[in-house]
Amino acid sequence: MITNLARGVQAFTSNAFLVEGDRTVLVDTGSNFDAVARIEERTTDLDAVLLTHTHHDHLGNLDAVRDAFGVETWGFDTDQPEVDNAVADEESVRLGDHSYTALHTPGHKNDHLCFYSSAASVLFAGDLIFQNGSFGRTDLEEGDRDRLIESIDRVRERVDEHLSEMYVGHGPSVTTDPYQDIELAGRAARMR
């Protein structure tokens, strides 16, 4: 089961997805809301925090979650103080009941990862791709439009065109033909 803990939060935050199952994992912690209380409403057992990238809105609640559950974080770049353990490109990670492949997808930020499971037919897209063909900002530090386009193309080529669900860093998740949103994002990112 995948639950967006940030749903309904009015303050600026990213989405924060609790993935329950064999290995209960929080994908990003969000910021500016009580993530610990929202986790505790669903479970008392959190195994890890997985970061799509290290922008503050995705990890503002990290210290509170670490303190409450004694968990370590996993992300692409262990030079970032928030990342305890590295997840390499193409590495397999367990979220809930499924294995996901980590895809290094820079362009929005150099340490950006997406997580894809063909068995679950789920993509965690972070801030790379959003609903309706929107895509991550490239005007922030480490942003690079050409690399972002390459990353979107990589995800499009990797996922199954019958992808069922795409969980994004901001806004609503996509549960109706998310592959189309990935294609739209690739086209939109090319328009300058």
Provide the pLDDT for residue 64: 97
On whether both 143 and 73 belong to a single domain, the answer is no
On whether both 127 and 188 belong to a single domain, the answer is yes
Q: How far apart are CA 101 and CA 169, in angstroms?
A: 18
Query: With bands split at pLDDT 50, 70 and 90, how would you rate the model's confidence at 11?
Result: confident
Query: With bands split at pLDDT 50, 70 and 90, how would you rate the model's confidence at 107?
Result: very high
182-192 pLDDT, tens digit per residue, is 999 999 999 97
Q: How far apart are the first and last CA of the chain?
A: 39
On whether both 25 and 77 belong to a single domain, the answer is yes
Query: With bands split at pLDDT 50, 70 and 90, how would you rate the model's confidence at 158?
Result: very high
Task: Tell me the sheet residues that pair with 122.
Answer: 117, 165
109-143 pLDDT, tens digit per residue, is 999 999 999 999 999 999 999 999 999 999 999 99
Provide the pLDDT for residue 192: 72
On whether both 76 and 166 belong to a single domain, the answer is no
Give the domain-ending residue among 38, 57, 88: 88
On whether both 127 and 172 belong to a single domain, the answer is yes
On whether both 54 and 104 belong to a single domain, the answer is no
Q: How far apart are CA 178 and CA 67, in angstroms?
A: 35
Give the domain-ending residue among 62, 88, 114: 88
Say if CB 65 and CB 17 are below 8 A apart: no
Residue 162 lies in a domain: yes
On whether both 60 and 131 belong to a single domain, the answer is no
Say if CB 28 and CB 59 are below 8 A apart: yes
Residue 93 lies in a domain: no
Query: Is the pLDDT reported for residue 108 higher than 80?
Result: yes
**Percent of the chain topping pLDDT 90:** 97
Give the domain-ending residue among 88, 118, 150: 88
Say if CB 128 and CB 122 are below 8 A apart: no
Number of separate domains in the chain: 2
Domain range for 36 is 1-88
Say whether pTM exceeds 0.85.
Answer: yes
* Residue among 81, 36, 29 at smallest CA distance from 52: 29
Q: Read off the CATH number of the domain in which 80 is found.
A: 3.60.15.10
